[in-house]
Structure 1
Amino acid sequence: MFTGAKYLLRGLGWVARHPRQWLFGLIPAVIVLAVYAVVLGLLAFNLDTVAAWVTPFADGWSEGLRTATRVVAGLAVFGASAFVAVLTFTALTLLVGDPFYESIAVRVEDSQGGAPPEPDEPLLTQIARAVKDAALLGVIAVAFALVFFVCGFIPVIGQTVVPVLAACVSGYFLAGELASVALERRGVHRRERLGLMKRQRPLVVGFGVATFVVFLIPLGAVLAMPGAVAGATLLARERLAINPLLTEGGRDAPEYR
């Protein structure tokens, strides 16, 4: 897991040495952040109303107990929403900024010895697959958010264990989305990608959780996004892409790294 976290540091170090690529990669992240900030801001502004809406059973309770329940409910709703936002932020930013991050990934690979050739596939097919993957990730994120929302009501566990589990789950999928830029170029799509991630789960979780924590810092998701893409590219190139699944047409997998 610590090795996985080091890949994020390496990615951040790479963009620090290539400031133009960092500025280039900020553009799509800023656009998506603006949209998410408005949505989460509206939620925070109306959190009392939302908390009351999800806890109608507390209407007849004493004022103290009702207030405490709705405070917990409000925190759980906002926490679940933040979880969904962090998880889908990456997928949506990669979707919006595909040309930007593809360029960064290629430059990272060139700095390490060369990138594999671009897949011989129509652009519309690539876009359709990216939209489908983003939509599927959104469904998964909502499902997990609902589970964590319910578990958030459990005393003590809901405020300690659940946030840690949420970070691990979010980090795992974050790492997969970030590594998809490099793996898609190697012809490794969602199902195969999940298989590769499963074989290297501690490594992937380490990278993903470190990224998740950085993304929770105000503006961290925007400022660190180019570095996260660079780190995930290095992770995919050096660890995830070394797998028999990449053998194709009799050609040896290392040629595709």
Structure 2
Amino acid sequence: MRSLRDFTSGVGFFLQGFGWVARNGRWWLFGLIPALIAFAVYVVALVFLGTNASGLAEAMTPFADSWGWRELFRTLVGIALFLGGLALAVLTFAAITLTIGGPFYERLSAEADPLSSEDEQPWWRTLPRSIRDSLVTLFYVLLFTVPLFFLGFVPVVGQTVVPVIGAVISGFFLTIELTTLSLERRGMLRKDRFALLRTNMASALGFGVAAFLLFLVPFVAVIAMPAAVAGAALLVRTRLAPTPS
């Protein structure tokens, strides 16, 4: 029962992020800038992938040249390539946007989660470490989600169990990415952040799964990104690493 309450609480912090940006509209607009840049990059990449999927599929399957049903097979491979690219875009959107907009989101996070000057780590000191940690997190995400992508083609299981597991795993790592800003500002290293989120697993999953499901809608992810950063800052401040008043 407590786990369910904590999960619901995590969802609540994500919604609180929308409330915070609604009350602080200029920060929402400020946070849209890197999200729009990342979105434009992904749109160009996905259009390129969609346009060239059939050619890539043909290049990847020379062994099928003599098959009578090679065109159908390569069409399915092309569709799988595009869906894989789309899934990768969803999984990496937050990490890439946070990397592009590091100073932007540092300031937004600092507004939602103010710290005393002696506790605050400057962004120029934490940014290189944040980029490195984002790459490590992305490696773990791919380690889990690439096998799940292929399991998605298994009848029944791929349409029921796999999407749920994928949402849970992706949600947890999304929470890791979004809380990095506030936890980095407190000087916490990656292994300590991972340990803290594992200890608060239900809240982390509630926040991350809610964000992940919303981020599945392409342009909504852009609009929601500043709110997700603010919500993560509130989650850290209130639940994960409470700041004494």
Aligned to 2:218, what secondary structure does the other structure show?
coil
- Aligned pair 1:105/2:129, yes or no? no
Following superposition, the deviation at residue 91 of structure 1 comes to: 1.5
- Aligned pair 1:77/2:81, yes or no? yes
Cα distance between partner residues in 1 of 2:116 and 2:76: 50
- Aligned pair 1:13/2:13, yes or no? no
User: Which deviates more, 68-77 or 97-106?
Assistant: 68-77
Is the Cα–Cα contact under 8 Å of residues 73 and 153 in structure 1 kept in the other structure? Answer: no
- Aligned pair 1:136/2:140, yes or no? no
Cα distance between partner residues in 1 of 2:167 and 2:59: 27
User: How many residue pairs are counted as aligned between the two chains?
Assistant: 239
List runs of 5+ in structure 2 lacking aligned partners.
Answer: 1-6
Q: 2:47 aligns with which of 41, 44, 50?
A: 41
Following superposition, the deviation at residue 75 of structure 1 comes to: 4.4
Following superposition, the deviation at residue 158 of structure 1 comes to: 1.9
Alignment of 1:177-216 (within 5 A): 177-216=177-216
Cα distance between partner residues in 2 of 1:23 and 1:3: 26
Q: 1:183 to 1:53 in 2, by over 3 A?
A: same
Cα distance between partner residues in 2 of 1:230 and 1:22: 9
Cα distance between partner residues in 2 of 1:71 and 1:15: 44
TM-score where L is the length of structure 2? 0.85
Cα distance between partner residues in 2 of 1:57 and 1:164: 35
Q: 1:15 to 1:121 in 2, by over 3 A?
A: closer
Following superposition, the deviation at residue 187 of structure 1 comes to: 1.3
What is the RMSD computed on CA atoms of the aligned residues?
2.5
Is the Cα–Cα contact under 8 Å of residues 2 and 203 in structure 1 kept in the other structure? Answer: yes
Opposite residue 12 of structure 2, the aligned amino acid is K
Following superposition, the deviation at residue 104 of structure 1 comes to: 1.3
Cα distance between partner residues in 2 of 1:154 and 1:54: 22
Following superposition, the deviation at residue 60 of structure 1 comes to: 5.1
Following superposition, the deviation at residue 235 of structure 1 comes to: 0.7
Following superposition, the deviation at residue 58 of structure 1 comes to: 5.3
List runs of 5+ in structure 1 lacking aligned partners.
Answer: 243-253
Cα distance between partner residues in 2 of 1:56 and 1:145: 27
Aligned to 2:134, what secondary structure does the other structure show?
helix
Is the Cα–Cα contact under 8 Å of residues 25 and 226 in structure 1 kept in the other structure? Answer: yes
User: Which deviates more, 69-78 or 30-39?
Assistant: 69-78
Is the Cα–Cα contact under 8 Å of residues 88 and 138 in structure 1 kept in the other structure? Answer: yes
Cα distance between partner residues in 2 of 1:186 and 1:222: 27
Report what 1:219 is aligned to.
219
Following superposition, the deviation at residue 59 of structure 1 comes to: 5.2
Report what 2:172 is aligned to.
172
Aligned to 2:155, what secondary structure does the other structure show?
coil
TM-score where L is the length of structure 1? 0.82
Q: Structure 1 vs Structure 2: percent identity of aligned residues?
A: 45
Q: 1:206 to 1:52 in 2, by over 3 A?
A: farther
Aligned to 2:115, what secondary structure does the other structure show?
coil
Cα distance between partner residues in 2 of 1:164 and 1:31: 30
Q: 1:122 to 1:101 in 2, by over 3 A?
A: closer
Following superposition, the deviation at residue 128 of structure 1 comes to: 2.1
User: Which deviates more, 133-142 or 18-27?
Assistant: 133-142
Aligned to 1:219, what secondary structure does the other structure show?
helix
Is the Cα–Cα contact under 8 Å of residues 119 and 185 in structure 2 kept in the other structure? Answer: yes
Is the Cα–Cα contact under 8 Å of residues 102 and 181 in structure 1 kept in the other structure? Answer: yes
Report what 2:36 is aligned to.
30
